[in-house]
Amino acid sequence: MELFKQVKFDEPVREKAKLALDVKEILYVLTKSKSVLIGGMIVFIVIFCAIFAPLIATHDPYQMNIGDRLLKPMEHGHLLGTDQYGRDLFTRIIYGARVSLEVGFISVGLSLLIGVTIGLIAGYYGGWIDMIIMRFVDIVLSFPVLLLAIALVAALGPGIQNVILALGVVYWTNYARIVRASVLAIKEEEYIQAAKTIGSSDFRIIFYNILPNCLAPIVVVATLGLGVAIIAEATLSFLGLGIQPPKASWGWTLAFGMKFIRETPYLSLYPGLAIMITVLGFNLLGDGIRDLTDSKLKRK
């Protein structure tokens, strides 16, 4: 960075040089971060399996064969055995990844849309607007989040759409608080005051000047939130309020496996491991991204 002080560049050249330095710094930290490498590899494998499930699966996930019910792993060509209806457990877990990722990504996206918008408005305008919004956030946070999600799904009815809607509605508060805190600090910067002086609209200041500088904490929390959403979906399905049979779901498979826990513990073990490993991958990835942003802040 000292080079920029000694040599005068045209503005486009300066910006390109800064961008190149940022990309190199990001790639350097990513390659040195074990959390990002391990978490990213796990997430990549899960997403790959979900996308190419028809090619990876060895059987039809919905085909029942009572004659092959409750087979042990590796019996009759079933890699992880079969469930109580004779369906291949490995195939069901592979297809269950699709449901978990769909619920996770869409519900987190909905939470981001609600929370980021509300956080930007509360932090930028402040005053009575901020007070009303944050008191409403406090009211929502006073309820146990998972219990509130259960209540919403019970009222709306089971199903993947209602699960996504319920999780998106109850988890937006974290994003609102984080974005609001970032906006309160950023809006006092000189370049924001300069933008106001030259007559920039509030919309342009919020979405072109403030929001890009809030992305780092948003990405970290959203990555960690994906793991939380996957666990919440599995919990709702386990309780019978989430994904309904015959659609493959890790939580539903885990719940039905509990009925045969003494005879065939693997029915609950394998979907439980799938949930644990997937959530671990997102958590490691989120921790690595947080370390990346922290290291960049310390260098500034």
Residue 245, in any domain of the structure: yes
Residue 163, in any domain of the structure: yes
CB 84 within 8 A of CB 260: yes
One-letter amino acid of 6? Q
Residue 3, in any domain of the structure: no
* Domain housing 28: 10-299
Q: 11 pLDDT exceeds 50?
A: no
Closest CA to 161 of 94, 233, 252: 233
Q: 20 pLDDT exceeds 80?
A: no
Per-residue pLDDT tens digits for 34-92? 788 888 899 999 999 999 999 998 888 888 888 788 888 887 778 888 888 888 889 99
Structurally, the chain folds into a number of domains equal to 1
> How many helices, marked H, and strands, marked E, lie in the chain?
14, 0
- Domain at 126, CATH number: 1.10.3720.10
Residue 292, in any domain of the structure: yes
Residue 201, in any domain of the structure: yes
With a CB cutoff of 8 Å and minimum separation 6, the contacts of 63 are 87, 88
Residue 2, in any domain of the structure: no
DSSP 86-97: S-BHHHHHHHHH
- Report d(CA 250, CA 50) in Å as an integer: 13
Closest CA to 287 of 22, 49, 30, 109: 30
- Report d(CA 141, CA 134) in Å as an integer: 10
One-letter amino acid of 106? I
Residue 64's SS3 state is coil
Per-residue pLDDT tens digits for 104-138? 999 999 999 999 999 999 998 988 998 999 999 99
Residue 5, in any domain of the structure: no
Question: Can you give the pLDDT at residue 76?
Answer: 79
Cα–Cα distance list, 182 to 191, 263, 297 (Å) = 15, 53, 14
- Report d(CA 103, CA 241) in Å as an integer: 14
Q: What is the pTM of this model?
A: 0.83
Residue 93, in any domain of the structure: yes
